[in-house]
Amino acid sequence: MRIAFALCSWGFGHATRSMPLIRRLVKDGHQVDVICSGRPLEFLKKNMSDSVDYVSFPEPPNPFSGSGSNFTLNLAATLPSLVMSVVKERKRFNRYFLKTRPDLVVSDSRYGIDTSKAPSFLISHQLRFMSPAVFKPLNFTELLNRCFRNYRKLIVPDFDKGNISGDLSHNLKLTNKERVEYIGVLSDFCKKPEKEDIDYLISISGPEPTRTDLEKKIFEQIDSLEGNVVVSLGKTGSSSPLVRGNVQVYNYMDKDTRENIMNRAKIVVSRSGYSTIMDLYVLQKKALYIPTPGQTEQEYLARHLKDKGISDFVSQDRLDISENLAAAKRYKGFTKRYDVKKSVDNFMDVIFESK
């Protein structure tokens, strides 16, 4: 069977979380066309090699780029071009579809990738938006789900019960719940019996200029941390670390290095992007989250996990790394052991039983 598998390219999270699904499809003998662009596309080519075919589609404008403090204004400014780009993407995909005739379509948050001519499925952990003021669900935004009529199922990478995405994809009011399938969390990492000999892993990421602002703030305070510290800058370049006293600094970590270091870390400092949270769930880690400024999804998730007693968070402008980490250690972290293969099996059941 030929399967078109499209990925949002606004960051690496959609690519990394979908890799176990793509690998399973290939393993089961399906021909997979991966539709992606930019750095995530290059990442996939490096990690998936020639086991799949690659199709480059231009990415719609990213409302998460630019200054975090102006995120709402940036979203409003990009919305018209975002809508037009989705329309253009749908036309581009229709041309691709007529040429290649895939038997099935999967889209991880690429809203212009669907068709009425073949079974189509949407993967998303955000079925509605949060109010930026009080972090309450904006139920009316669920109406957007009705625009995605071609998707037979809305596949949520979370649990129905004991969930981690909260009101982003649960307690839905205006969505047909029969269309929603919770398959469990997705991650390309595995829990391994490594000795936890790294006291702090600090992962710096996100759009500019907020990424660089966080990097500066971290290094202004990092000397206050005792023990073994590893910092990932989220840049391209050499994968060899620069050693500075008790601190190792990586510009770039390949997948194996990152998996090893995350397994060895006692606590992780990172953005509260949903794919990162799923990684930490699978690795059973404690965390201190620093949401990307102005991204209400990340701010909501960080607050939601704090309210559940799982992890702590701090806003970027109030970061006191030593004090905040001391508080974060008192939270329980993720403790449940989970095998992502269960989520992959659930995904396969959904897309092939819903045909």
Which class would CATH give 200-328?
Answer: alpha beta
Average pLDDT for 328-355: 94
Instruction: With cut-offs at 50, 70 and 90, classify the pLDDT of residue 82.
Output: low
More confident residue, 7 or 50: 7
Average pLDDT for 79-100: 84
Token code pair at residue 154:
């809305």
By CB neighbour count within 10 A (0-12 exposed, 13-18 middle, 19+ buried), where does 195 fall? exposed
Instruction: With cut-offs at 50, 70 and 90, classify the pLDDT of residue 68.
Output: very low
Instruction: With cut-offs at 50, 70 and 90, classify the pLDDT of residue 227.
Output: very high
**For 126, phi and psi rounded to 5 degrees?**
-125, 95
Buried b (16+ CB within 10 A) or exposed e, 92-114: bbeebbeeeebebbbbbbbbbbb
Q: Does the structure show a pLDDT above 90 at 350?
A: yes
CA 245 from chain center: how many Å?
32
Average pLDDT for 177-201: 96
Domain ranges in the chain are: 2-188+339-353, 200-328
* 9-18, 142-151, 318-327: least confidently modelled range: 142-151
What is the pLDDT, as a whole number, of residue 175? 85
Average pLDDT for 239-244: 87
Token code pair at residue 68:
């975090």
What is the pLDDT, as a whole number, of residue 183? 98
Instruction: With cut-offs at 50, 70 and 90, classify the pLDDT of residue 315.
Output: very high
The amino acid at 17: R
**For 80, phi and psi rounded to 5 degrees?**
-60, -45
Instruction: List, in sequence order, every residue forming a beta bridge with 74; answer none if it has no partner.
Output: none
Mean pLDDT of the chain: 89
* For the ranges 11-20, 62-71, 142-151, 178-187, the one whose mean pLDDT is highest: 178-187
Instruction: With cut-offs at 50, 70 and 90, classify the pLDDT of residue 128.
Output: confident
pTM metric for this prediction:
0.91
What would the CATH number be for the domain defined by 2-188+339-353?
3.40.50.2000
Q: Does the structure show a pLDDT above 60 at 327?
A: yes
What is the pLDDT, as a whole number, of residue 268? 98
Q: Does the structure show a pLDDT above 50 at 41?
A: yes
Cβ neighbours around 294 below 10 Å, total: 22
Q: Residue length, the chain? A: 355
* Three-class secondary structure of residue 288 per DSSP: strand
Instruction: List, in sequence order, every residue forming a beta bridge with 248; answer none if it has no partner.
Output: 230, 243
pLDDT digits (tens, 9 = 90+) for 138-175: 655 666 666 678 999 999 999 999 999 999 999 888 88
What is the pLDDT, as a whole number, of residue 289? 98
What is the pLDDT, as a whole number, of residue 252? 86
Q: Does the structure show a pLDDT above 80 at 236?
A: no
Tell me the C-alpha to C-alpha distance, in Å, between residue 3 and each of 72, 184, 200.
Answer: 36, 22, 41
| One fold for 2-188+339-353 and 200-328 | yes
- How many angstroms separate the CA atoms of 163 and 236, rounded? 34
**What one-character DSSP code corresponds to residue 140?**
G
What is the pLDDT, as a whole number, of residue 296? 85
pLDDT digits (tens, 9 = 90+) for 106-123: 999 998 899 999 999 999
Instruction: With cut-offs at 50, 70 and 90, classify the pLDDT of residue 304.
Output: very high
What is the pLDDT, as a whole number, of residue 187? 97
What is the pLDDT, as a whole number, of residue 87? 84
Instruction: With cut-offs at 50, 70 and 90, classify the pLDDT of residue 323.
Output: very high
What is the pLDDT, as a whole number, of residue 148? 75
More confident residue, 121 or 40: 121
Q: Does the structure show a pLDDT above 60 at 219?
A: yes
